[in-house]
Amino acid sequence: MSLLSSLQSQFSIDGVASIVNCSDDFPVIQISNSYADASIALDGGQVLTFQPKLQQPVLWLSKKAIYKPGKSLRGGIPVCWPWFSDHPTEKSFPAHGFARNHRWQLEAIEQQTDQSTLVRLTLPASDATRNLWPQPFELELKVVVGTELSVSLTMTNLSDHPCTMTSALHTYLQVGDIREIVISGLDQTPYMDKVQDFSLFEQQGNVRFSGELDRIYQNTRSDIIIHDGVLKRQLKIAKSGSLSTVLWNPWVNKSAAMNDFEEDGYQHMLCVEAANAADDIIQLQPAQSHCLQTVLSVLDQHA
């Protein structure tokens, strides 16, 4: 029996959940319940789409995204773990860790009593992951598709010594026009600016975009609201288990240099990432766990 048919017979739920190959050897879970449609790739444990019924897509997914095992897709919610950005000491290791480049295992798809749908995935260790991260670990991703999208990443240290790690739910959001976007929730928050040599600044008022922006906001638990006058909606990004929030838009030149970024795609996307990044390092004792969660919701249709 092929992987796809065995997943389909074990996990599909009539009228709600199915597992399809969205390109050669690229299994994707498709959810459609009373609240929303969503899709999740086993490769990377990556949520690709989330669209509440009768609304516009919440997540941005590049039209030039490459559907290939071992390569993180441009868009949706890549999982960055066990390090965010570059590895702290090994420059040849992949950026943003390895969780986004490996195939996850589907553990369960369940209808909840409120008719939302829970999908549970785990990342198995392999020789390839052990070469990059020898410590035994457990990594679980829970995705709940309802009126909101909730994504929770639980990391557990299964080794016999303390471990440190960083992480992010690198969420690509769909916006009408990046130049018109206003972000609230970060006033007076300190941030590290990657575009200005990692210098430290403090946010004054709302965030607006007029060029490349790549910042790690620090020491913040706040919800973010994206005010989108073009799509006439407000998106709320709530989080827990995170003291850092990353904002990213590559703008013209950086996006043109990426082969999986559609032309002018930067105008319609924005990353808001619930993270443990920079000084927000997670230290786990043996058997200890940490949960990083982001919850996305459309507040209303009038920005």
In the complex, the residues that contact ligand TA6 under the rule CB under 6 A are: 72, 85, 95-96, 170, 194, 214, 246, 248, 271, 273
CB 155 within 8 A of CB 84: no
Burial class (CB in 10 A: 0-12, 13-18, 19+), 179: exposed
Beta carbon nearer to ligand TA6, 86 or 202: 86
Q: What is the rounded distance in angstroms from the CA atom of residue 229 to the CA atom of residue 64?
A: 26
- How far is residue 302 from each of residues 5, 186, 298, measured CA to CA in Å? 43, 21, 10
Both structure tokens of 258: 């990426």
Closest approach, Cβ 216 to ligand TA6, in A, equals 8
Closest approach, Cβ 280 to ligand TA6, in A, equals 14
Quick check: is 302 catalytic? no
CB 182 within 8 A of CB 210: no
Q: What is the rounded distance in angstroms from the CA atom of residue 295 to the CA atom of residue 223?
A: 10
Among the options 87, 102, 170, 268, which is catalytic?
Answer: 170
Quick check: is 90 catalytic? no
Beta carbon nearer to ligand TA6, 156 or 166: 166
Closest approach, Cβ 16 to ligand TA6, in A, equals 31
Both structure tokens of 217: 């906001």
Beta carbon nearer to ligand TA6, 117 or 245: 245
Beta carbon nearer to ligand TA6, 146 or 214: 214
Closest approach, Cβ 254 to ligand TA6, in A, equals 7
Partners of residue 124 on adjacent β-strands: none
> Which positions are annotated as active-site residues?
170, 273
